[in-house]
Structure 1
Amino acid sequence: MSSDTGISLSSYDEDQGSKLIRKAREAPFVSIEMAGFAAIVAYGLYRLKSRGHTKMSVHLIHMHVAAQGFVVGAMTLGMGYFLYQEFWGKPKP
């Protein structure tokens, strides 16, 4: 029996910063999603102070829907971009 599983251990040696940079280069839309999500959360926290007579639960639901919508939209655009590159962007042989 062979104990070779084909798993490379080099990915276990990298730290979190270099892993994040590598993943950002492989899939740039993930970085955009994370930045947009963080911006929406920061805006929600900023607006939390001056929400007026709006209930806290309603404010949090609106921020949750906005953040989730941004991430889903960015994922859809990223998938469309990569599909375009894969199927229509390559020159035909």
Structure 2
Amino acid sequence: MSLSAGMGDQKIFDYHEESQSEKLARKSKETPIFPVAIALCVGAVGFGAYKFNKRGNMSPSVFLMQLRVGAQGLAVGALTVGLAYSMINEYVLKKK
């Protein structure tokens, strides 16, 4: 499906089904910090899987809830740093 502008044949919006790898590549080009956020989240999950056996007498649901909050915190922190970096480049340093 495509949307044409006025009388011309120029396409404004070209829609096609994206595969997961195409979507990841597009998001990486639009926001370079996005893969870093994903890597931090995957690292937190890997760390949690490693530490799961050494959780002591903590219940699995509490451990997994804390792990989820930590992984989300890392992802949001990485995206915040990326947003601050892009805002500094655009508004303070005024790169063109």
Q: With structure 2 as the length reference, what TM-score do the two structures score? A: 0.75
* Structure 1 residues 64 and 16, CA gap change in structure 2 (3 angstroms): closer
Aligned AA (2:77)? G
1:29-88 deviation per Cα after TM superposition (whole angstroms, max 9, x unaligned):
111111111110111112112211111122112101111111111121111011011111
- Is the 2:89–2:95 Cα contact (8 Å) retained in structure 1? no
Q: Within the alignment, does 1:8 sit opposite 2:13 as a pair?
A: yes
Q: Within the alignment, does 1:56 sit opposite 2:72 as a pair?
A: no
User: 1:10-89 to 2 correspondence within 5 Å?
Assistant: 12=16, 15-89=19-93
1:53 counterpart SS class? coil
Q: Distance in 1 between matches of 2:17 and 2:60?
A: 44
- Is the 2:37–2:75 Cα contact (8 Å) retained in structure 1? yes
Q: With structure 1 as the length reference, what TM-score do the two structures score? A: 0.77
Runs of 4+ in 1 over 4 A off after TM superposition: none
Aligned residues: 89
Percent identity between the two aligned chains: 35
Aligned AA (2:4)? D
Larger proportion of strand: 2
For the aligned residues, what is the CA RMSD? 2.4
List alignment gaps of at least 5 residues for structure 2: 6-10
Larger proportion of helix: 1
